[in-house]
Every structure is written in structure tokens, then in C-alpha cells.
Amino acid sequence: MKNEIEKKNKEFIPNKKQLQYANIYCDVKTRYDTDTERAKKIGTSRMSIHRWKKDPAFVSWLEDRANKTIEKAKGILMLHGLRESLKRGGFNYWKVLMEINGLYTPNLKIDALIRPPDLPFMYYKDDKAIEDKEVKQIEGKENGK
């Protein structure tokens, strides 16, 4: 019990193979590789990677490392986006990069039926306002009869 608590409180320390896996996992060039291909590159089995992914501490560490990699790359992406946006037709490229970085929000359109508020119907009888939920037939000439 004590070892489990100590394990949760300590920072995850990856082994050499896990570090190699993280480097490949976070690399843009190899992002579409399967775990089988990554396992071959680092010299381990696919089942070892599968066991690592069952460990919440490893998964948390890997996600944190991937997020840090993305944060580091944002500056480079923004500079590249600026260069691309200066080219003819580059505005859309720049706009997408800005959206990804949370710096641009497109106009939102809401496609929905908007129902008017449920207001009581008002009519007058003998110069006195009368509220009602439904239209009722009014005595006399007010309703056109």
C-alpha cells in the first residue's frame, strides 16, 4: 500500500526505451507509424508498448511530453504561416493556423428555429385590457362580426 502511494506521488521516470518511444511518438515525421513500427525502431516488442500504455503514469507523462512538443513547435508554425500567408491565396492557410492556435474564432451561425416568447394575447373590451392565452371571440363589433 505504501509503495503505491509513493509511486503516485513521485514523478514518472521513463527508461531508455520509453524515452526513445516518446521521441518517435512526438516526431511529426513518424506520427502515423503504428506501435509495431515504433517497437521495431526502438528494439522492443509491441506488447511492451501495450503494457506501458496501461500505466496511467506513463500515459500522463507521454501526453505532457507531446503537449510540450506542440507548444515548442507553435512559434515555428506561426513563422511558416506568416511566410505562406504572404503568397497569393495564403490567407486561408494563415486563418487555419490562427484557428488552431486559438487566435481566431470564425463567425458562428446558429441554424435553429427560434420560437417567439409565449406572450398572452391582449385585446380590449370596454376600454379595458384583457389578457388571455387564446384568442376568444369578442362580443359586438370588435372582432369584425
Concatenate the DSSP letters of all residues of 53-116 into one string.
HH-HHHHHHHHHHHHHHHHHHHHHHHHHHHHHHTSTT-HHHHHHHHHHTTS--PPP----PPPP
- What share of the chain has pLDDT > 90, as a percent? 31
CB 63 within 8 A of CB 37: no
- Does residue 144 surpass a pLDDT of 70? no
Question: pLDDT of 82-139, one tens digit each?
Answer: 777 777 777 777 777 777 777 777 665 666 666 655 655 555 556 555 555 454 555 4
pLDDT confidence of residue 6: 45
pLDDT confidence of residue 5: 44
Structure-model confidence comparison of residues 65 and 3, the more confident one:
65
d(CA 44, CA 21): 10
pLDDT confidence of residue 32: 85
* Domains of the chain with CATH codes: 12-100 (1.10.10)
pLDDT confidence of residue 34: 92
